[in-house]
A = this chain, B = another copy of it.
Amino acid sequence: MDSKVNRRIVVAERPRYAVPTANVFQLESSPIPKPQDAEVLIRTTWLGLDPYLYGRVKHVSHQAQPVPLGDVMVGPTVGRVEVSYRSDFNEGDLVEGFWGWQDYAISDGSRIAKLDPELERPSHALGALGVSGFGAWLAVDRLAKVQRGETLTFGAACGGLGSMVGQIGKLRGARVIGVAGTAEKCRFAVEKLGFDACINRHAEHYESELREEYARNGVHCYVMAIGGRMFELAMPYFHLHARIAVCGLMASYSMQSLPDGPDRTMVLLNEINLRRLQVSGLVTLDYLGTPEQEQFRREMKAWIRERKVLPLEHVVEGLEKAPEMMQGLFEGKNFGKAVVHVAD
Contact = CB atoms under 8 A, between A and B. Distances in A.
Contact of A262 (B257, B267, B277): B257
Interface of A: 55, 60-64, 224, 227-228, 231, 236, 240, 246-249, 251-252, 255, 257-283, 286
B264 A258 contact: yes
A268 to B, nearest CB: 5
Given A263-B261, A276-B286, A280-B276, A270 B60 contact: yes
B249 A269 contact: yes
Given A259-B262, A264-B263, A282 B274 contact: no
10 contacts: A55-B274, A63-B271, A227-B269, A251-B266, A252-B269, A258-B264, A258-B267, A262-B263, A275-B281, A279-B279
- Copies per assembly: 2
A156 to B, nearest CB: 15
Contact of A259 (B258, B263, B273, B278): B263
Given A258-B263, A258-B264, A264-B263, A252 B276 contact: no
A265 B262 contact: no
B64 A274 contact: yes
A236 B283 contact: no
Between A236, A260, A262, the greatest number of chain B beta carbons within 10 A of the residue's beta carbon is seen for A262
A280 B240 CA distance: 11
Contacts of A249: 266, 269-270, 273
Given A249-B270, A252-B269, A279-B280, 12 more contacts: A62-B236, A63-B275, A228-B266, A231-B269, A247-B273, A248-B273, A261-B263, A264-B265, A272-B279, A273-B282, A274-B283, A277-B281
Contacts of A63: 240, 271, 274-275
B61 A269 contact: no
A245 to B, nearest CB: 9
A262 B258 contact: yes
Contacts of A277: 279-281
A132 to B, nearest CB: 16
A61 B270 contact: yes
A67 to B, nearest CB: 16
Contacts of A272: 246, 279-281
Contact of A268 (B64, B265, B275, B276): B265
A274 to B, nearest CB: 4
B263 A263 contact: yes
Nearest to A277: B281
Contacts of A64: 274
Given A227-B269, A251-B266, A257-B262, A278 B280 contact: yes
Nearest to A61: B274
A277 B277 CA distance: 13
Contacts of A266: 227-228, 249, 251-252, 255, 258-259
Contacts of A280: 272, 276-279
A224 to B, nearest CB: 7
A268 B231 CA distance: 13
Contacts of A270: 60-61, 249, 252
A243 B276 CA distance: 14
A246 B260 contact: no
